[in-house]
Amino acid sequence: MKGAAAAPAPAPANLDDPSRTGTPPVPRALSVPQNRCDRVASSPSSPSAATAPEPLPKAELHLHIEGTLEPELAFALAARNGVELPYATEDELRRAYSFADLQSFLNLYYALMAVLRTEDDFADLAHAYLARAKQQGVRHAEIFFDPQAHTARGVPIGTVIDGLARALDSAEETYGISTRLIMCFLRDESAESALTTFEAARPYFDRITAVGLDSAEVGHPPSKFKEVFALAREAGLKCVAHAGEEGPPAYVWEALDVLGVDRIDHGVRSLEDERLVARLVADQVPLTVCPLSNVRLRVIDDLADHPLPAMLDAGLLVTVNSDDPAYFGGYVDDNFTAVRDALGLDRETLRTLARNSFRASFLDEATRERYLREVDANQG
Ligand SMILES: [Zn+2]
């Protein structure tokens, strides 16, 4: 899986440059292009930016911070860190974003991570996401990160968490977005590696709200990670897991009954099992669905055939999220717009999805209620 990764370049001299300060040399404007996230939303029928209504306030609950690495920022960080990317231009890289399945996406995803080396890099990555999220109406973000994808490259877990935390600490003030961090284990790595990662993260548990499980699903059932999830629950952390994306409904059952998760990430294949749907409805287990991701990774052939309406009709607590937006053609409001257009969802259904996002979050009750009132007050 990681064989496709670019060979790490030797540490460049400029990393030790004494003139280098804590201020990231990557200009914010470079890392946060204003119009790229309109790739999906800017259909001919979309209102112009000048007349566009305020996007619905929403929480984003399924967002991999590494999946927000836009080609512009990847090239900027590559230059800063002396990493050679196997693409000559940003356009050439963007053309590589055509995936046959989850694994072909993951190959590129891990290759590009080679540019993330320092605390500044992780802080810049998170700032770039938060700036875009603000434009998309995000009021609360529960953000995944993959420590093993970085520690395997020699980047200490503290560098990753301290860099992300630096950006998240100022997110309320700078972007008006509350945040939580969710540490994911790579399910195609061993259970022992997950345990090692969990223990390495212990000094940072005050920064982490939940643990999760992601990466290549098929062949790596949730039960493989029973032990580390039990330890996480013992430590007072919430638990989530990707299940029922490419994997079968049986994986969703395992996530619920073996790992004891509070939320299922994706879960679109749950509809194949009536008894499972009844369980998810009865317990109101949230499902963090990612429509554009499902199409890009060929989980669903056509957005017009997405099971989102059927999931809502079944009474499931469904939310809409962006997953890896730099790679899948849109951030979270772009996903809202895309499902509205492809599935004919009316305004009230979109409001239900926005309300669900806060109901499914790990927010305290008072803050949740405040955000729900913002949804009700939105005139868009
Ligand atoms: Zn995901």
- Cα distance between residue 299 and residue 303, in whole Å: 10
State which residues have CB under 5 angstroms from ligand 1, the bound ion.
Answer: 323
pTM: 0.87
pLDDT tens, N- to C-terminus, the chain (380 residues) = 333 333 333 333 333 333 333 333 343 333 333 333 333 333 334 444 556 678 999 999 999 999 999 999 999 999 999 999 989 999 988 888 877 777 888 888 888 999 999 999 999 999 999 999 999 999 999 999 999 999 999 999 999 999 999 999 999 999 999 999 999 999 999 999 999 999 999 999 999 999 999 998 889 999 999 999 999 999 999 999 999 999 999 999 999 999 999 999 999 999 999 999 999 999 999 999 999 999 998 889 999 999 999 999 999 999 999 999 999 989 999 999 999 999 999 999 999 999 999 999 999 999 999 999 999 999 87
162 annotated as a binding-site residue = no
- Cα of 322 from ligand 1 centre, angstroms: 8
242 annotated as a binding-site residue = yes
- Cα distance between residue 244 and residue 241, in whole Å: 10
At 111 the pLDDT is 86
What stretches of the chain show up as alpha helix (H) in DSSP? 28-31, 71-81, 90-95, 102-112, 119-135, 147-151, 157-169, 171-175, 191-201, 226-234, 249-257, 274-282, 291-296, 308-313, 325-328, 332-343, 347-359, 365-377
Is there a catalytic annotation at residue 245?
Answer: yes
At 31 the pLDDT is 38
266 annotated as a binding-site residue = no
At 68 the pLDDT is 97
CB 263 within 8 A of CB 287: yes
Domains belonging to the chain, first-starting first, are 54-375 (3.20.20.140)
Instruction: Encode 310-343 in three state secondary structure.
Output: HHHHCCCEEEECCECHHHHCCCHHHHHHHHHHHH
- Cα of 253 from ligand 1 centre, angstroms: 18
At 379 the pLDDT is 80
- Cα distance between residue 73 and residue 128, in whole Å: 9
Q: Residue 187, SS3?
A: coil
- Cα of 12 from ligand 1 centre, angstroms: 32
At 348 the pLDDT is 96
At 51 the pLDDT is 61
Q: Which of 60, 245, 246, 254 is catalytic?
A: 245
- Cα of 321 from ligand 1 centre, angstroms: 9
How open is the CA angle 292-279-240, to the nearest 5 degrees?
50
How far apart, in Å, are the Cα atoms of 350 and each of 49, 283, 327?
20, 22, 24
Pairing assessment for the beta strands 210-214 and 138-145 based on DSSP bridges: unpaired
169 annotated as a binding-site residue = no
Burial class (CB in 10 A: 0-12, 13-18, 19+), 54: exposed
Q: 284: alpha, beta or left, given left = phi > 0 and alpha = psi -120 to 50?
A: left
Count of Cβ atoms closer than 10 Å to residue 178 Cβ: 20
CB burial string 335-357: b at 16+ within 10 A, e below? bbbbbbbbbebeeebbbbbbbbb
